Amino acid sequence: MTSEERFGVGEDGFVVKGIDRIIADQQTRARAMFGDDVDLTSGSALRKVLDAAAFDTHELWRALESQYYGTFVSTAQGPGLDLLGCDLGLHRRELRARGTVILAIEKGETDRRYAFPQGTVFVTEPAPGKAVLAFRSARAAILSAEQPTATVEVEAVTRGATGNINQSTTLRLDHEWARHNLNLGTVEVKVVVQQSFHGGDLGESDAAYRARLLGVPRTVWTQEALLAQVLDVNGVRDAAIFDPLGGVEATRRAFGTFNFGNRAFSRERQTGSPYFFDIVVAAEPGWPWNSGEALIPGVYDEVLDVVRQWRPVSVFPDILAANQVDVGIRATLVVEAGHDEEAVKGAILDAVRASVNRLRLGHGVLHSDIVLSARTAAGVVDVQHLRLRRFAPAFGQTHYGGATYGGSQELSVGENLNLAPDEIARFSVDTSMADLQVVIT
């Protein structure tokens, strides 16, 4: 038997015997049993019995293939993947319920715009025996006295079916969050649930669950083990661990004062002596950093609680907020005639936002990636003179690392936007740095 004729478990995985090969083998055995002159035409009774048995046999082969690949995290699906996750102690997470609300203002001042950024926190009214549920907006909304309402998509802060609220549920703006992040003055804000929320009772996709399982560390105290726990905290977009195993602590005052010619670069840490390392955390837009800024828990305290359970004795973390870098673009779009210019711009901004907001800490924005994202929009023939822009961070968004205030930077055509290890890119479709000119062909 040649290698091409081997079926079942092999060096390249599991090879299923095809339906044509099963039928051919059955016909060969039928001729060996009943003679070469046996009637195996399509209308014979024996042929119909053999064909029916062949389909059942083929289903058995497919079931064996599924059972084989269901034993590996990289190929298992559905319930098989859930069982492997239970063995690793990591269960499939529930999704966050999503829905839409109508955001409205009353008594707004004339000639003033009220901005509600992405991540604006809404909460349910307190009720006896019921916990207060919190929700965050998925997009920004800008209201004014002339346009006092807007439809905003929101998602639950807590995963699970508890976020599937009914249409009759009353929501309001989180006053504590608004006090720290907004300046509304005397305007009154009302939130009306447009329809019942859904999706909280569903589990995350196999692809997302598989990625988490493949990243589960097999050791107790490593960068990967700690990072996996930090990334699982609500409100954490990304995180990075700097100097967790020893070396110079660059964020401390002592850095730069060592006389390397007269003393050792470092020495072995004595048992019981304290050692500090840095965890840089990038929070999701609008998520409070400290507890007390909103009804939802702050990212800093949640991460600190997780690290305390995983750190060794006398090893302490410095939890630092990442610097958010707002990214903008300027380009000329060549669009086919007959396409709506505003629709094309909106599609491009959505594509660029998805591309930039997927980047991790320290990952720069590539000019080529933005061009490819822009050209995926329907009707776009070419993207010309694309320049990346970088906003100077707003006061309070830079925590350490030497940021520059006072203006934005526009790069040359084809130049990439590089970021420091403690910086993370952010793009909003509402940013004023998106300057797109349209040329109709």
> How many C-beta atoms surround the C-beta of residue 198 within 10 A?
15
pLDDT by residue (tens digit) across 358-386? 899 989 999 999 999 888 888 888 889 99
User: pLDDT at position 430, please?
Assistant: 65
> How many C-beta atoms surround the C-beta of residue 315 within 10 A?
15
199 falls within a domain: no
Task: Tell me the pTM.
Answer: 0.67
Q: Report which of 97, 144, 142 is spatially closest to residue 120, judged by C-alpha positions.
A: 142
54 falls within a domain: yes
**Which DSSP category does 249 fall into?**
-
- Which among 318, 346, 379 is the end of a domain? 318
227 falls within a domain: no
Total number of domains in the chain? 4
Of 33-37, 190-194, 383-387, give the lowest mean pLDDT range: 33-37
Whether 13 and 59 share a structural domain: yes
Whether 156 and 59 share a structural domain: no
H-state helical runs in 198-340: 206-214, 223-231, 299-310
228 falls within a domain: no
CA gap 353, 377 in Å, rounded: 13
pLDDT by residue (tens digit) across 374-424? 888 888 888 899 999 887 655 444 444 444 444 568 889 889 999 888 889
Q: Which amino acid is at 233?
A: V
Q: Which two tokens stand for residue 21?
A: 């090969």
- Close Cβ partners of 353 (under 8 Å, ≥ 6 residues apart): 427, 428, 429
State the residue range of the domain holding 189: 98-193
H-state helical runs in 215-271: 223-231
